[in-house]
Structure 1
Amino acid sequence: TIRFTKEPTMIFAFTAVPGPQEWQPILLAESVRQWGGALANSDILALYPQAIGTLTAETTAKLKALAVEIMPFAGELPTLRFPFAAKVLAAAQAEEAAGQATRATQTAGQLVWLDRDSLLIQEPQPLLLDEAKQLGYRPVDHTLIGSRYEQPPDPFWQLLYARCGVAATQLWPMMTSVDEVQIRPYFNAGMLVVRPESGLLRSWRDDFLRLYQEPDFAPFYAQDGLYRIFMHQAVLAGVILRELEAASCVELPHLVNYPLHMHAQYPAARRPATMNELISGRYDTFFDDANWAKGFPMQEPLASWLRQNIGQYLTV
């Protein structure tokens, strides 16, 4: 049983995969507790793939010390080996758990689904959805396999829309955050704010499991490995477009889920001067560089906190 608070206004959830990167969910949880402001005591849920194994005793102790609920999620090993399938399965499990909590407490909680290599940097008030909204999202950073709005959908997207039951009237323009290309809706799967009762993330799981091995998609995987890598995100787009109207979706500020590792490439007009301006960020390979602290200006108290906390996990 998940021991959520009496009024789970916001529930943060992310994966915790056994292995050398177990420090990532710890750092993310620490950032919520340190920088979450009025939402710092929000419920946090870390989900690990039961088929792969459990987290170390040390990781478990650190997460529990941060009042993080640790939960296994189901998934067969062949499925988990497909790119980012674990994210889809874990997100659905998190939504189910969050839904149980909001029903039990009769509150309108919101689930914030994050990639585990994320950091909260400011109180996340912008993540709180207005009453009329069902989804808070960020667009993808780069177009890659995305569908350019000024061009007809290519065969991959035609097939994806058909399999997900998306009509042409359900498409609207969206701008990628880094290469600034107008595309059809293509949502960043590393930052989603949903209402657990909507079942959106469970629909994502169900459609993904139904489609990812479908033979009609195999030629695209063979044509370009990016289709395989981003199939999970393409299915997410199909599910959202089928389930929700554009008016019920809100694009979150660009300072949410900001790509630290793409700071130098970010459009200058919207590039923050310091990391402190961010609400949340995703670091990916940012800390792989021994000189990471010089790559993005930071001010106190964030600078000392980040150096101290990230320093204990880096081997560079």
Structure 2
Amino acid sequence: FLDYPLALKAFAAAQVEKKVADTVATLVWLDPGVMVLNSLAALDLDGEFSAAVRPVTLANTIAMPPQSEPDDYWKPIYEETGLDCKTLPLLETIADEVKIQPYYNCEVFSFNPGLGIAKEWARLLGRFLKDENYQKTACTTFLKRLFLHQAVLSAVISSRAKPDRIKALPLTSGYPFNQHEKLSVSKKAASLNDLSVVIFDYAWDSSPAWMKKIKIEEPLHQWLFATYLDYLQIAPAIYRVEGSCNSYLIAGQQGCVLIDPAGASDAPEFFEKILEKFPLKAILLTHAHQDHSDDIEKWKTDTGIKVVAQRQYKEYFQYQAEMADFFARRNAIWSGKPLAAEPPAPKVSRGEPTVFFADEHHFELGGLNFIMRHTAGETPDHTTIWIPELSAVFVGDNYYEYFINNSTFRGTMIRPVLGYIRALDTALSFDPAYFLMGHGSPLVSRKAIKTKAGALRDALRTIYNETIKGINAGKDVYTLMREIKLPENAALRQYFGKVEWTVRGIWQEYVGWFDENPATMYDLPFSSVFADLNKLAGEDKIIKKAEEYFNKKEYVKVLHLTDVILHFDPNHKSANEIRIKALKSLQAGSGNFIEGIWLKHGIRSAEDRIHENN
């Protein structure tokens, strides 16, 4: 159930419910990302209630308006549980304050195990997970797959407990910390000390400055600081903070080494606490990306602290400077902001490396050997760092838990897939016990490293080989984009990159842009005859054909047809309207972050053109 990562909750709850059904009257579920700070009394059912829950924090695209007929996602769930939308109570989401039908948060809740709620939750969820048709037709977005377990639990509770037997869980016993800044004044906690149960979710792990977002009084503040610092130690002598990237601090008796400083700058107080006892001696850079290499000057507090990078590090910033106007435009689209009148001025003061190396650099500090090896992949200057005494390898951005993105839509030179493969070969050849990447939670067992990092390496090798094979067979790039898939045993989510984009990147890297069509040798693109095609076919016929394709869910063909009209008439109302519908349909079916950015940009651009025409 790779696409349903939270489904395991139902099956775990059912197992516990079975063991305690005859011995307790209240069973409390707390997600791993939850912290208990005060009494759990609000979750106690006191023999009076069947469950204690609160509404979801956000409606997203899942919750249904009051008394509305269930959609394809909810209808089978309601049918299985016998719910009637007309008789269900009205709820309101916590953060966006939207009126909804019962849809409960299941990160913190309690229930009477004697009612078989968890057993039915697991049974019903299992049925939907095995229903391939339901998955294809109803679970059409990442969020609908992610929260299917929550929708099913909501229906089970609503069907097994009368409204007056469902205890309203106060916000203090399920406080959504990630939404703290977005909560209305009446709901926002004045102090962390006032809360009983806090849902940190990913904030604890990937938002190191979380302690600055809310007032925390002593002695809780001191205890949390010490607890969090202890949490940041992921292995003997190795600490990790994830801000813009994973920053790692290797602490020894003779001093510390900082790997990729930028990520630690959001909450520098944690590493600074360690540096009070073990001063910083060196900064090592895995690569030049600013989310890793920024803030050298903040951490290089002494001229004796050396900063080490691969020698192509400098060329990356020369490339960025040459393409500044282009990147300003792309980054504005990326962030959903209007294009600035002038590109941002380059950073005036930027700390620079003091030591550059070509192939390998080695130094020793307090009995620890730091071996830096050039392994171009995500960037030309990319470096793998190996510390044999700690059995720890630092791979930067040459490994993600998701599929790679070998040509970002923000604009980069092609990232060689063979580079990623060779970099992973290098890292795996050390047989490390700790595999420390640039973003996300490290891999901390040899089995996990071989399984996950090895799976990415093997999948990339398969895709690379199949692409080269297809090129040699004379297949065009679009055929290969359609044909080449991830190996069936590769459990890799395509969240940033996609296989078809990687195939296209390999094609362009190896054989360039020419596709053997003589027409593409010249400076007139295919769009130069769109006006002629429009006259020959007629706008009405093109729109009609686009609508046919839309009804057949062939949304990309809708985009191509509307391109024909919009190329010479950008404000054409009907073409923009059907295009928006196609883009929104593609958006609804996408679980890819980058694809979503550009679909959203397309929607916003088409909507702006319609507004300009009104």
TM-score, length basis structure 2: 0.36
- The yes-or-no answer on 1:132 pairing with 2:13 is no
Equivalents in 1 of 2:4, 2:31: separation in Å? 17
- The yes-or-no answer on 1:148 pairing with 2:70 is no
Matched residue SS, 2:52: strand
Equivalents in 2 of 1:139, 1:220: separation in Å? 26
**C-alpha displacement at 1:155, in angstroms?**
2.8
- One-letter code of the match for 1:246? P
Equivalents in 2 of 1:222, 1:286: separation in Å? 27
Correspondence for 1:10? none
- The yes-or-no answer on 1:313 pairing with 2:231 is yes
> Measured at CA, do residues 224 and 293 of structure 1 come closer, stay the same or move farther in structure 2, by a change above 3 Å?
same
- The yes-or-no answer on 1:86 pairing with 2:8 is yes
- One-letter code of the match for 2:179? M
Preserved contact between residue 255 and residue 277 of structure 1 (Cα < 8 Å): yes
- The yes-or-no answer on 1:172 pairing with 2:94 is no
Poorly superposed stretches of 4+, deviation over 6 Å = none
> Measured at CA, do residues 81 and 179 of structure 1 come closer, stay the same or move farther in structure 2, by a change above 3 Å?
closer
Question: Which of 153, 163, 167 pairs up with 1:250?
Answer: 167
- TM-superposition CA deviations, 1:46-73 (whole Å, max 9, x none): xxxxxxxxxxxxxxxxxxxxxxxxxxxx
Equivalents in 2 of 1:127, 1:301: separation in Å? 25
Correspondence for 2:201? 284
Correspondence for 1:52? none
- TM-superposition CA deviations, 1:19-78 (whole Å, max 9, x none): xxxxxxxxxxxxxxxxxxxxxxxxxxxxxxxxxxxxxxxxxxxxxxxxxxxxxxxxxxxx
Correspondence for 2:600? none
- One-letter code of the match for 1:110? T
Q: Which segment drifts farther, 285-294 or 140-149? A: 285-294
Correspondence for 2:564? none
Question: Which of 236, 246, 255 pairs up with 2:153?
Answer: 236
- The yes-or-no answer on 1:157 pairing with 2:79 is no
Bigger relative contact order, structure 1 or 2, given CA contacts below 8 A and separation 6+? 1
TM-score, length basis structure 1: 0.69
Matched residue SS, 1:87: helix
Preserved contact between residue 121 and residue 279 of structure 1 (Cα < 8 Å): yes
Sequence identity percentage: 30
Matched residue SS, 1:168: coil
Q: Which has the larger radius of gyration?
A: 2
Q: Which runs of 5+ in 2 are unaligned?
A: 233-239, 242-614
> Measured at CA, do residues 173 and 310 of structure 1 come closer, stay the same or move farther in structure 2, by a change above 3 Å?
same
Matched residue SS, 1:123: coil
Preserved contact between residue 221 and residue 228 of structure 1 (Cα < 8 Å): no
> Measured at CA, do residues 304 and 221 of structure 1 come closer, stay the same or move farther in structure 2, by a change above 3 Å?
farther
Equivalents in 2 of 1:221, 1:155: separation in Å? 5
Question: Which of 20, 26, 32 pairs up with 1:110?
Answer: 26
> Measured at CA, do residues 290 and 132 of structure 1 come closer, stay the same or move farther in structure 2, by a change above 3 Å?
closer
Equivalents in 2 of 1:92, 1:80: separation in Å? 20
**C-alpha displacement at 1:163, in angstroms?**
2.9
Matched residue SS, 1:139: coil
- TM-superposition CA deviations, 1:86-138 (whole Å, max 9, x none): 111111112122225x1xxxxx4311111111011111222222433110011
Question: Which of 99, 102, 108 pairs up with 1:182?
Answer: 99
Matched residue SS, 2:106: strand
Question: Which of 185, 188, 208 pairs up with 2:125?
Answer: 208
Correspondence for 1:263? 180
> Measured at CA, do residues 223 and 211 of structure 1 come closer, stay the same or move farther in structure 2, by a change above 3 Å?
closer
Question: Which of 222, 225, 228 pairs up with 1:304?
Answer: 222
Preserved contact between residue 53 and residue 105 of structure 2 (Cα < 8 Å): yes
> Measured at CA, do residues 282 and 222 of structure 1 come closer, stay the same or move farther in structure 2, by a change above 3 Å?
closer
**C-alpha displacement at 1:219, in angstroms?**
3.2
- One-letter code of the match for 1:134? S
